[in-house]
Structure 1
């Protein structure tokens, strides 16, 4: 199978499955516990139908929007995700370059494998720095100061990961950083020699956002231990309010799911929130971002930018979220599988398909601008 044969999300996923060792593929693809929420993320969009309008004169379609003060050409952005150079040697460099080509925003994770400074210097499109709340408050301040010095405008604090989810696929394979693989999993790496050659012939794997502050090398601290030992489960709204004030700029909370929490985020001065269940990787059985979108937009949509992610694989999914009031929609696995399959060309092909689907969908819905998408264009499927 070749990149040119990839016409949708599932094709990219299949190509990534063929090219990645099984433990790494399953790290991307898997969710927590029974993966109920992982499945519901995608299924939630199927419960809502689009009601199109016709004869509206839609020769020209404008997909641009503004989120948290950042102007972007598409109503989708590339969500911050960890360990990208593990999936393909280009990692975040491919993600940032593809996002820039399509004029949209990308995120860099605290567990990213390319430094935020390098990407900020090289690319002019908006960049978000995603970070976690540590027990060491000085470390939190140092990481925010470093982001500000690099020119990053938007901070994104992940609030649904004060402890790691129970990802049983990883437990079965022994996936961790550094690798502690089971014999069966090790055999999967042997079966994919191209990935191994690629991995060892490019720059050494590192976590530059954390390496300056924490010894993540060798066997000293695996990713799992990072979550269980360094992140602070006692984090409160007062802690976050102090960070919002310290940053003094666009500040977003990722992982908000309740109306009460959305209101509190607005109260402490957050610029935006992302309705997210972490791709079904944290609390299994939780609601989906799309299912929570309508009531949260009605509660706080006039006070902050509301975004969502989870299960988005089609342009029509994005249109449904926009119709409910989302300012933009985050993409995760949608671009990670293309990255794993083919690097930057893979992500660009996937984004090109998303853009084409959005333009086509807008025309068929009778809309020329995304603010013309409204809730009355949707119907909840009964039964």
Structure 2
């Protein structure tokens, strides 16, 4: 295997090691995938100012995210089914994040449960909440997260209706593979063997907790019916009260929505288009960040996800107003490619890229990175 030097190397290795239907699940967007590709492309249009004559003997990549110190301005985004990309995936990412000193966000639709991740890591992590119609289930999920010691609640705002991902439909993606998918799985023996051996085989936050969901078959019915198109700002106020502390809203892409969140006293928002997996034709997250930062950046903390692939992208996001970024697909690539060591490798790569970029841009601290450091 050639040396792993960048996120793209991890993606290529990931593609070889996991079944096609799960690779396509991660590496796709909705409908024409215009927004999916725009997320990456627009980062590349932002030029970084090269500066010289600055003492860059000591470059510090640390930052503060949601009030907590982080060794790098990144957090791992909430991605469903990490435990299918790599056996016990949620626990592996959480451990690597803990060891490196960055936040990990567990998805509602994780394979490993809140309690399993908490027991395995022994460290606080963040929990992401999908809002479904069953409010008793939501209330119970919030209190489970509190009991497990989760330090932040991240509420996803942009999944009140599902965008269609053509690749998933064509692959007939399901937790019960068809013959075509089974044949492809047979070409990935290492992945298959790990899945047979792992004790983590179900959706631990849902099965046995949601009403009427006792097995994978009933989960499929529940998931199709529980997406809540009625989610509104009153629901956010209710969730905040149940949680009893600061919350992070993920999926804000409009200045007006950001202002509403600020008026409600929301402490942090994530500028995000769900990785291009929801509204196809929407702007890229990075292109909307400066406008939102100008409107509410002095009232709340801004984070960003969608399209981040390099340490240079992290620098660009910081320059345009984000305290840090969430890593989604880059995390999946690393996990699927190499498991927990892959996540550690990813963080090392990004930190090295970030440190080099900062130095060549004449910056020694992340707090000093600002709009003057890029050309748009």
Query: TM-score, normalised to structure 2's length?
Result: 0.95
Counterpart for residue 141 of structure 1 = 139
CA-CA distance at 1:186 after TM superposition:
2.9
- The secondary structure found in structure 2 opposite 1:330 is strand
For the residues of structure 2 that align with 1:65 and 1:358, how far apart are their CA atoms? Answer: 12
112-121 vs 67-76, which moves further: 112-121
Given the alignment of the two structures, is residue 371 of structure 1 paired with residue 367 of structure 2, yes or no?
yes
Counterpart for residue 13 of structure 1 = 11
CA-CA distance at 1:124 after TM superposition:
5.8
- The secondary structure found in structure 2 opposite 1:345 is helix
- The secondary structure found in structure 1 opposite 2:51 is coil
* 1:116-173 alpha-carbon deviations (Å, 9 max, x no partner): 2233344365511001112122221111111111111210011111122201111111
- The secondary structure found in structure 2 opposite 1:229 is helix
For the residues of structure 2 that align with 1:216 and 1:32, how far apart are their CA atoms? Answer: 30
Counterpart for residue 217 of structure 1 = 215
Aligned mate of 1:281, from 277, 288, 308: 277
For the residues of structure 2 that align with 1:124 and 1:361, how far apart are their CA atoms? Answer: 34
Given the alignment of the two structures, is residue 188 of structure 1 paired with residue 216 of structure 2, yes or no?
no
For the residues of structure 1 that align with 2:235 and 2:271, how far apart are their CA atoms? Answer: 20
CA distance 1:92–1:304, change in 2 (3 Å): same
Tell me, yes or no, if the aligned pair for 1:23 and 1:170 is still in contact at 8 Å.
yes
For the residues of structure 2 that align with 1:198 and 1:239, how far apart are their CA atoms? Answer: 40
* 1:157-204 alpha-carbon deviations (Å, 9 max, x no partner): 111111222011111111122x242x4333212222222222112225
Counterpart for residue 59 of structure 1 = 57
Tell me, yes or no, if the aligned pair for 1:323 and 1:378 is still in contact at 8 Å.
yes
- The secondary structure found in structure 2 opposite 1:208 is coil
Aligned mate of 2:227, from 231, 236, 253: 231
- The secondary structure found in structure 2 opposite 1:157 is strand
Tell me, yes or no, if the aligned pair for 1:88 and 1:339 is still in contact at 8 Å.
yes
Aligned mate of 1:170, from 146, 168, 171: 168
For the residues of structure 2 that align with 1:228 and 1:273, how far apart are their CA atoms? Answer: 27
CA-CA distance at 1:46 after TM superposition:
1.2
Counterpart for residue 33 of structure 1 = 31
- The secondary structure found in structure 1 opposite 2:31 is coil
RMSD value, Cα? 1.5
For the residues of structure 1 that align with 2:126 and 2:364, how far apart are their CA atoms? Answer: 28
CA-CA distance at 1:371 after TM superposition:
1.6
For the residues of structure 2 that align with 1:71 and 1:198, how far apart are their CA atoms? Answer: 34
Counterpart for residue 319 of structure 2 = 323
Counterpart for residue 80 of structure 1 = 78
Query: TM-score, normalised to structure 1's length?
Result: 0.94
- The secondary structure found in structure 2 opposite 1:118 is helix
Aligned mate of 1:295, from 291, 297, 311: 291
Aligned mate of 2:333, from 337, 361, 367: 337
Counterpart for residue 301 of structure 2 = 305
Counterpart for residue 105 of structure 1 = 103
Counterpart for residue 265 of structure 2 = 269
Counterpart for residue 93 of structure 1 = 91
CA-CA distance at 1:259 after TM superposition:
0.5
Structure 1 unaligned runs (5+)? none
Tell me, yes or no, if the aligned pair for 2:259 and 2:295 is still in contact at 8 Å.
yes
For the residues of structure 1 that align with 2:270 and 2:222, how far apart are their CA atoms? Answer: 23
For the residues of structure 1 that align with 2:314 and 2:200, how far apart are their CA atoms? Answer: 37
Tell me, yes or no, if the aligned pair for 1:244 and 1:269 is still in contact at 8 Å.
no
Structure 2 unaligned runs (5+)? none
- The secondary structure found in structure 1 opposite 2:375 is strand
Counterpart for residue 200 of structure 1 = 196
For the residues of structure 2 that align with 1:268 and 1:137, how far apart are their CA atoms? Answer: 21
For the residues of structure 2 that align with 1:35 and 1:251, how far apart are their CA atoms? Answer: 30
For the residues of structure 2 that align with 1:370 and 1:330, how far apart are their CA atoms? Answer: 16
CA-CA distance at 1:240 after TM superposition:
0.8
